[in-house]
Amino acid sequence: MKVDQIFFNLFCRRHLRFVFASFCCCFLLSSCSPKMFADLKSGEGRYSKGMLALFRPGKNESLVYKTMIKYKDKEFSSLTYLNALNDSVFKIVLLSNFGNTLLEAEISRDRFTVSNVISYLNRKPILKLLEGDWRILLGGNLKRSIPKLFTENSQSTVFDFADGRTNNLYHYDPVAKSVTMIESYKGKSKKVLVSIDSMQDFQPEVFSIEHPSLHLKITMSLLKKASNDSVE
């Protein structure tokens, strides 16, 4: 093949399109794995199963959280019930303050099944956001793989559970033996920040989930374990 033919082939319309698409792919792929998450070592030896698990609800007693949702300048509250069916399946129920059911769902490693949801919450973006938040919170409970080691010092060890372009960083306090913060990144930008303000019996007592780009903040305070008293 002559040089001018190669040149022609390379810059003819069809090939230009190919060159442009390849360039875009390279650009996207490079942005998929930001430097900060590249070449991380495995957390093996530092990580043990269950150490990043935030919740330990019983099968008969749910954890009950008063949930304050602040979206822009609007604020409303509800109740969240969390219950474990087994080690890898959790039940989540949202109730209004009056006790009306807003949502009932089950979350496992690969499924999020909504069995009942009130019409105004039954929107794909809302349910996806809710699933995403619970996947981050329950990452330490649900993930089977060994996370990568992000950073380590005497005060905290940061583990990274990566999933495609998403990197979830779990800040673990080796002295308190609990997770203190979770950061969720999509590429380089931080999408979700979970701050654990206080713990009770190795479970979060007060924590918040913040979506800075959505101006959304959810604060959850542990009320108590659900009662089994009966009114009748």
Instruction: List the one residue from 13, 29, 60, 110 that touches another protein (CB under 8 A).
Output: 60
Contact between 86 and another protein by CB under 8 A: the answer reads no
Within positions 65 to 84, which residues make up the interface with another protein, using CB under 8 A?
A: 66, 68, 75, 77, 79, 81, 83
For another protein, which residue of 22, 42, 48, 97 counts as binding (CB under 8 A)?
Answer: 97
State the minimum distance, in angstroms, from the CB of residue 38 to another protein: 42
HEC profile of the chain: CCHHHHHHHHHCHHHHHHHHHHHHHHHHHHHHCCHHHCCCEECECCECCCCCCCCCCCCCCCEEEEEEEEECCEEEEEEEEEEEEECCEEEEEEECCCCCEEEEEEEECCCEEEEEECHHHCCHHHHHHHHHHHHHHCHHHHCCCCCEEEEECCCCEEEEEEECCEEEEEEEECCCCEEEEEEEEECCEEEEEEEEEEEECCEEEEEEEEEHHHCEEEEEEEEEECCCCCCC
* Site string (101-140) toward another protein, x via CB under 8 A: x--x-x--------xx-xx---------------------
Contact positions toward another protein, by CB under 8 A?
59-62, 64, 66, 68, 75, 77, 79, 81, 83, 91, 93, 95, 97, 99-101, 104, 106, 115-116, 118-119, 223-224, 226-232
